[in-house]
């Protein structure tokens, strides 16, 4: 079954002005965050990440994720209200072959000096709506609200009745 919000997430990923971040971890669990404007998706529903630097922190962490089953997180914000986080795992990387070459040609057609190291396919595990109000409502559901008392303190003494 497709993860909830998948269409919304992909629409947000498609937004021309979207902010797209990927968070990966290394073998010690240290996180690394990177903005990846080129993040997109393919016809099979995989998130596609074009890695331009062979030795980048993200590329190494993605290799580690594929080898050792570590998940990663992708955050997309499109406008003020469309914010999503996808938890994903690498499915496959193309460093050669027709898929790689197609992206290689496309990226160099756009930017003649561009390099391409790898085309990553990331499989979405689940997606959460990160819009603040939606997220807060979801996170607070069934919980005892945390309210600092100053927030509900009267600013003036009650008038004796």
Partner 1 sequence: MNAPNELKSHQLSYHEIVAKYPTVSPFVILKTDVQRRGVTYTTQAIERANPALHLLQFRSIFHTIGEKQTPQIPVSLLLRDGTSILTGMRPDAPAPYLVDFVDGRLVLTDHGQILEEVEYWHKPQYVDKHTSAGTPMWQVATPRPQRLDINPYSYCHFWDDGGGCKYCNISSHFNKERKNNGKPLRIAPRDIYETVREAVKQPGRFANIMLTGGSILSGSQLFDDELQVYIETLQAIGENFTTRRFPSQLIASAFSLDQLARLYEETGLLTYTSDLEVLDDALFNWICPGKAGKLGYQAWKRRLIDAVQIFGTGRVNTGIVGGVETATPHGFASEDEALDATLTEAEDLAQHGVTVVQCVWSPTRGSAFAKQHPPSLEYYVRLSQGLDALRRHYNLNADMDSYRICGNHPDTDLSRI
Using rule CB under 8 A, residue 126 touches partner 1: no
Cα–chain-centroid distance for residue 15?
Answer: 14
Specify which residues 129 forms β-bridges with. 84
With left for phi above 0 and alpha for psi between -120 and 50, is residue 63 left, alpha or beta?
A: alpha
Q: What part of residues 7-26 is at the interface with partner 1 (CB under 8 A)?
A: 26
**b vs e for 7-19, b when ≥16 Cβ sit within 10 Å of the residue's Cβ?**
eebbebbeeeebe
Using rule CB under 8 A, residue 101 touches partner 1: yes
Tokens of 140: 């607070």
Which of 12, 47, 72, 116 binds partner 1 (CB under 8 A)? It is: 116
What would the x/- binding string for partner 1 be over residues 50 to 79, using CB under 8 A? ----x-----xx-xx-xxx-----------
Size of the site for partner 1 (CB under 8 A): 25
Binding site for partner 1 (CB under 8 A): 26-27, 54, 60-61, 63-64, 66-68, 91-98, 100-101, 104-105, 108, 116, 118
């Amino acid at each position: 079954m497709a993860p909830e919000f998948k269409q919304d997430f992909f629409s947000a990923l498609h937004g021309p002005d979207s902010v797209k971040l990927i968070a990966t971890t290394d073998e010690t669990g240290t996180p690394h965050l990177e903005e990846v404007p080129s993040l997109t998706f393919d016809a099979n529903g995989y998130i596609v990440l074009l890695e331009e630097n062979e030795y980048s922190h993200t590329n190494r962490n993605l290799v580690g994720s594929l080898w050792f089953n570590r998940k990663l997180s992708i955050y997309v914000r499109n406008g003020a209200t469309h914010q999503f986080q996808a938890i994903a795992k690498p499915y496959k990387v193309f460093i050669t072959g027709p898929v790689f070459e197609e992206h290689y040609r496309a990226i160099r057609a756009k930017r003649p000096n561009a390099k391409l190291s790898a085309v990553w396919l990331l499989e979405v595990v689940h997606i959460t709506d990160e819009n603040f109000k939606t997220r807060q409502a979801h996170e607070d559901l069934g919980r005892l609200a945390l309210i600092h008392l100053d927030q509900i303190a009267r600013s003036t003494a009650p008038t004796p009745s």
